[in-house]
Structure 1
Amino acid sequence: MKKIQPTLLASAILLAYAPAFAAPAPDLPPDADQTVNNGKIQQVVVTANPLRSSEGDQILAPAKVLAGDELRDKVGSSLGETLQNELGVSASAFGAGASRPIIRGMEGSRVKMLENGMATSDVSGLSNDHAVASEGAVARQIEILRGPAALLYGSGAIGGLVNVVNERIPTALEDKPTGQVETRYSTVDNGRNVSGSLDGAAGHVAMHIDGNWRDTNDYKIPGSRLLNDPSSGGGRLPDSDTSERSIGAGASYVRDWGYVGVSANHLSNNYGIPSEEGSRIDQRQNRYDLDSLVHAPLNGFETARFKAGFTDYRHAELGEDLQPEVIFSNRSFESRLELTHKPLSGFHGTFGVQTENTHFSALSAAGGPDTVPVTHSTSGAAFLVEETHVGPVAVNAGLRYENVRREPVGNVERSFNLGSGSVGALWPFLRGYSAGATLSYAQRAPSTDELYSGGPHDATLTFDTGDANLKKEISRNIELSVQKTSGLLRWKANLFRNNVSDFIYGHITGVELDEDGNPAAGNGFRQRLFQQAPAHIQGVEAELTWNQTGMGWNGRLFADGSRGKLDIGENLPLQPADRVGASLGYRQADWRAGLSWTHARGQDRLAAFESTPTPGYNLVDANLSYTQKLEKMDLTWFLLAKNLLNKDIRLSTSLLKDISPLPGRNLAFGVRAHF
């Protein structure tokens, strides 16, 4: 694999530093922690940060928060689709129904998925064909945390975390009922989507309800289905349809001392897998949560927060005859206690404990070998994060200790002691300018499938074989950043490198097996063995923005790229392509419009078992909306255009890149009522 391309690195650095030599921007009050919703500027708080800082205050973890109009413009049928154009984020793109975020080249169990600060407890981290069991259409905001602070949520967050915030358990009393309802139609897949939420209060009881209904047909593709094969046919991509339903409700008792609340949610998701064989996944999840917060619980403490959640998850992988072939099941109970202390000798921080108890299995429904046996896993952890100042320098440090135990039926039990630590500093070397550095050390236990897999996985056409003797993964990370945080013109640039000892990956051997694990040359499952080797991932990110929350014109330029390879010289599989992009927007009174362009370079840095380079592409999106006052309601009419140039786009991070392009030109229009 080549080193980071000089052109990309140079352009990123020039893009980051050029504004420092330009004419000075007006010195305005900082507003990096604001977003625009229906033309109104609102405060943004990163709820996944233990100290609940604003987006612009992050030291340990560079954060991005999608909320308001920006979130509504980008929301798609999956979290991967919603977030795939954010800085440092790409998507696994396993059809319209299953696309998971990939952060800085790390995917699967290294990127933790949260809902309201608690694990989604699905099985999306095991394979790219598994959808994340959290719905973005009813989210109030979606938070991306990359870096050390994400480790406080578990050893699986080496790459970062994504937190979907829907406020299903309300934390404040509304003076009057408030809510939002949206309906939209998309042309590329005949998609129909209705979503909404409602909040109210009766006395000291706050109440919330939300729901989503989505149906899409197979989506249109711009050219042929198979890469470089015009004879493979076009039109619509088979098995790319989706059908999703979700409903959730919650209530809280709210007083001056804090609140305590509960919620329940049901999700039903049935979607196609556009692989060569063609299959479907029928997904179900019931989720129950408790959340409580007490102000000044003890002398010297600001807050105490206790959260608990139980999740009953199941999905069936259906064959061409729509009969179950493998059934995945995960029942999980998680609890979390956090105590935030008042400033003490210059330190302000949070410490707590977290537990998780899961029963997971992936059992054959057709009489063959089980993909993963029934496995009982338990974990217990303690964590601490502190902030202080040394002169003008803000310092943040965190520690986490965790024990993970896996007890499979019919295999070797394993126990892992995991320690993680991080320290970061932010130095405001000039007014409105700052430089930062973070160092972190993290350990991750092998996941259940990496240890104990031993059967076919139909959706990916692999016969997976785990290794019960795998060691824990150890990651050593460094990140350097510089940014301008005030004025109309702002920018930031990040450089990072992760060195990972005993990196766990699935190696495709080239051997083909039948569903019982016997040789079947020519028409079988690809053998995939979970192995370990030292690896490293390094990259660069840069972003420049102009007037992001104000009226009038606004703009953005960005560039990102990463390289991942084994230390023996082989590339890591499914690595993201280098990207540059620009956007231009206009906001005035009740009108809002925008146009964006993203260019991804061709990706030819292939793993040993990958054979086809991914061509580059240009993606052009646009949006237009108008908000009108209708008595006590804001009514927003919107038009969204995605892949406006109708380009054949294939993501290098997708297992299906050779046979399943992304959708062609799509016009989505609808109306959103906010009251």
Structure 2
Amino acid sequence: MAVPTPLQRRLQGQLIAAAVVSALASWSVPVFAQTVSTTGDTAAPAQPALQPIVVTATPFASEEDVQVLAPAKVLAGDELRNKLGNSLGDTLSSELGVSASAFGAGASRPIIRGMEGPRVMILQNGMAVSDVSTVSNDHAVATEAATARQIEILRGPAALLYGSGAIGGLVNVVNDRIPTELVGKPTGTVEGRYGTVDGEKNSSFSLDTSAGQIGLHVDGNYRDTDNYKIPGNAQQGNPSTASGRLPNSFTHETSGGVGGSYIADWGYIGLSASTLDDHYGIPTSEMSFIDLHQSRYDIDTLVKNPFAGIEKFRFRFGYTDYTHTEKEQDGTPATVFKNRVLQTRWELTHAPLAGWHGTFGVQTEQGNYSALSASSGTSELTPPTRSSSFAGFLVEERQFGQVLASAGLRAESVNRRPDGNSGLAGRDFSLLSWSAGALWAFQPGYGLGLTYSLAQRAPTVEELYSNGPHESTATFDIGDSQLKKETSHNIELTLQKTEGLVRWKGNLFRNKVHNYIYGRTNGQVDDAGNADPSGEFTQRFWSQGDATIRGAEAEVTYNWNGDGFSARAFADTSRGTLDDQGSLPLQPATRYGLEFGYKTGPWASGVKVLRAQKQDRLASFETYETPAYTQLDANLSYTQKWNGVKLTWFALARNLLNQDIRLSTSVLKESVPLGGRNLIVGVRTSF
């Protein structure tokens, strides 16, 4: 596939933006007023309160503040738009307990409480994204945050619902491509923005409408960025390395989706189709880049009260066809990654039985994964491997006076079958996970929660069968086909206040993981894996050991998102260790910060300062200590009505101090800093 020229990219973006604006110009629709309830302390002045945010990835689609199985955070509305980055990891990196892999601008995956890769599941509308971002940090997450209605973060024992891949938590990107409600008039959003640090040009839109009992949805996004500016040198204090801009850190991405559903009193049935194309550079000395394409098809059906004792039945189906090609600097294809996945979920929610209300179901997945040489078609890194899984799950909850109790169980079978010509043996894993927890509302608006869970994870294909050079990461990866399943024992204590002007929450957690799988580096090799001190590849073995991850998170807010003055203070820390072997690799730094906001009439503003401490708790094979940094961000917006449409003009400032920021969770922390001072300006409409 030919790489678009810069002129072609600009024209594509202009055509998309022009088409959307032209379509909107033909409508003159009123702005829908949001109906909200009023909450607060009796002594607090009357004020509008936020509409309760429903977490769709929980078994009962309950509100954000009453989670038992997993503490939740939901980004939506202006908060999501202000935090939007070029990648999912960048968008979520300032949330409690969340960092990012930061492999340049094109590929950055969320890291939750020090757990990364296959331990953090990425969902889109409750179904797995099914890309290959768990395989390596240079692989982008194949979902787009710019067109999302909300992004949900669940930490802790979410494995019961979505599989062993969620042992560390999950992120659910909700874009509502399959409508579940009819709208009286067309509704949607359109946004355009420009960023100075990388010449970002980003246009996105989302539109919902209906015709009779048919709900329709369409969305799209276009993003183009140049190599981004950095405050100093690529390697701190090394004037012989790049300065000014980080070479090969460009991105170019387009995505689009359509969906429709038939909606009636009994429920709905719908389907959607989407496509994503991503072209981005890898900022290493190899100067390689990746061309990514994904096509996705989904079906979602919900039937209310299908028969006695069952409140609803839901069936979901998803098929993903994913390919990306890693190319050398001159454009020569090196390795082709493919992943084709078919997944289904069947869920039944039963009416209360002896006081217990619950959801049970079955989840299946069939996948074909490979990483082959582009020139010969032979196994370059990982042989073609078929994987399948079958799981049954049950989650129940019951109210005992002031105590809301939850319990759940998940049994899963996972099979890996490499190509017969590889000479590698297949593996079968039987996984059993369970959880029990309770939330005690000891005072109105106050809650004390305790959860204990056991979660198991099967080794991934690349952890078992890798054996070859990986150009983009400059590593020679060697798997171990005898790896055992991971077993994690997790305990979490939560204390929270969820009503009034002043709200707060705190979490303490400890995860004890038996047979923790991690990458251990061991010197330089050539492209055949032979020891060579001047070789271009770092040898990396997939190894196992027992590990402990423990930490704490806290947040206090005053009038957060309300009119007038608002404030937020937050902090998080975690530490991961290998028993008797020192620290786990790529652990997040301790962070704390303050945010202040002010809203009056059409104006809204905010400023945030985040301080990250030096990270010197290194694994035995790590050598680089990331220095402390202070990140200062600010935002300003003005909202007006224009021809019946709500129009918001906004300016976002990031890294105002132009700090040299290096994330301890990044494989490239020594040579790839984050971008320097960035001013983003744009306009957003909603109708």
What range is the shorter-chain TM-score in?
over 0.9
In structure 1, the residue matched to 2:601 is: 589
Instruction: Confirm whether residue 625 of structure 1 aligns to residue 633 of structure 2.
Output: no
Instruction: Confirm whether residue 578 of structure 1 aligns to residue 590 of structure 2.
Output: yes
1:491 to 472, 497, 504: 504
In structure 2, the residue matched to 1:164 is: 173
CA distance in 2, matches of 1:366, 1:456: 15
What secondary structure is seen at the aligned counterpart in 1 of 2:306?
coil
Which deviates further from its counterpart, 316-325 or 445-454?
316-325
Shift, 1:640, TM fit: 0.3
Q: Which amino acid aligns with 2:400?
A: V
Instruction: Say if 2:158 and 2:170, in contact at 8 Å, map to a contact too.
Output: no
In structure 2, the residue matched to 1:445 is: 458
Shift, 1:616, TM fit: 0.4
Q: 1:468 to 1:607 in 2, by over 3 A?
A: same
In structure 2, the residue matched to 1:613 is: 625
User: What are the superposed Cα offsets for residues 298-317 of structure 1, whole Å, 9 maximum, x if unpaired?
Assistant: 11111110000000000011
In structure 1, the residue matched to 2:392 is: 382
User: What are the superposed Cα offsets for residues 508-554 of structure 1, whole Å, 9 maximum, x if unpaired?
Assistant: 012x2222222333123111111111011000100001111321111
Instruction: Confirm whether residue 203 of structure 1 aligns to residue 247 of structure 2.
Output: no
Aligned residues: 644
Shift, 1:276, TM fit: 2.1
In structure 2, the residue matched to 1:68 is: 77
1:363-442 alignment, distance < 5 Å: 363-367=372-376, 370-409=380-419, 410=422, 411-442=424-455
In structure 1, the residue matched to 2:28 is: none
Q: 1:28 to 1:351 in 2, by over 3 A?
A: farther
Q: Which amino acid aligns with 1:516?
A: A
2:287 to 278, 285, 289: 278
2:140 to 119, 122, 131: 131
CA distance in 1, matches of 2:334, 2:469: 10
Q: 1:51 to 1:536 in 2, by over 3 A?
A: same
What secondary structure is seen at the aligned counterpart in 2 of 1:424?
strand
Instruction: Say if 1:151 and 1:160, in contact at 8 Å, map to a contact too.
Output: no
Instruction: Say if 1:369 and 1:456, in contact at 8 Å, map to a contact too.
Output: no
Instruction: Say if 1:493 and 1:542, in contact at 8 Å, map to a contact too.
Output: yes
User: What are the superposed Cα offsets for residues 7-36 of structure 1, whole Å, 9 maximum, x if unpaired?
Assistant: xxxxxxxxxxxxxxxxx96467999xx98x
Where structure 2 has 5 or more consecutive residues not aligned to the other structure, the ranges are: 1-39
In structure 2, the residue matched to 1:107 is: 116
Shift, 1:445, TM fit: 0.2
Instruction: Confirm whether residue 651 of structure 1 aligns to residue 660 of structure 2.
Output: no
Shift, 1:43, TM fit: 3.5
1:325 to 327, 331, 334: 334
CA distance in 2, matches of 1:247, 1:481: 39
Instruction: Say if 1:27 and 1:487, in contact at 8 Å, map to a contact too.
Output: no
In structure 1, the residue matched to 2:64 is: 55
Shift, 1:427, TM fit: 1.0
1:353 to 348, 359, 362: 362
Q: Which amino acid aligns with 1:246?
A: S
In structure 2, the residue matched to 1:501 is: 514
CA distance in 2, matches of 1:265, 1:403: 30
User: What are the superposed Cα offsets for residues 432-466 of structure 1, whole Å, 9 maximum, x if unpaired?
Assistant: 22211100001100000000001111111111111
Which deviates further from its counterpart, 238-247 or 387-396?
387-396
2:495 to 482, 500, 515: 482
Where structure 1 has 5 or more consecutive residues not aligned to the other structure, the ranges are: 1-23, 36-40
In structure 2, the residue matched to 1:338 is: 347
In structure 1, the residue matched to 2:542 is: 530
Instruction: Confirm whether residue 560 of structure 1 aligns to residue 572 of structure 2.
Output: yes
CA distance in 2, matches of 1:287, 1:642: 33
Instruction: Say if 2:52 and 2:64, in contact at 8 Å, map to a contact too.
Output: no
CA distance in 1, matches of 2:199, 2:178: 34
CA distance in 1, matches of 2:193, 2:447: 42
What secondary structure is seen at the aligned counterpart in 2 of 1:232?
coil
CA distance in 2, matches of 1:299, 1:116: 28
Q: 1:635 to 1:413 in 2, by over 3 A?
A: same
CA distance in 1, matches of 2:392, 2:379: 38
1:463 to 472, 476, 487: 476
Q: Which amino acid aligns with 1:152?
A: L
Shift, 1:390, TM fit: 2.2
**What is the TM-score with the length of structure 2 in the denominator?**
0.92
In structure 1, the residue matched to 2:17 is: none
Shift, 1:659, TM fit: 0.7
Instruction: Say if 2:158 and 2:167, in contact at 8 Å, map to a contact too.
Output: no
In structure 1, the residue matched to 2:253 is: 244
In structure 1, the residue matched to 2:611 is: 599
CA distance in 1, matches of 2:179, 2:90: 27
Shift, 1:151, TM fit: 3.3
The percent identity for this pair of structures is: 59
CA distance in 2, matches of 1:434, 1:57: 9
What secondary structure is seen at the aligned counterpart in 1 of 2:477?
strand
CA distance in 2, matches of 1:86, 1:142: 12
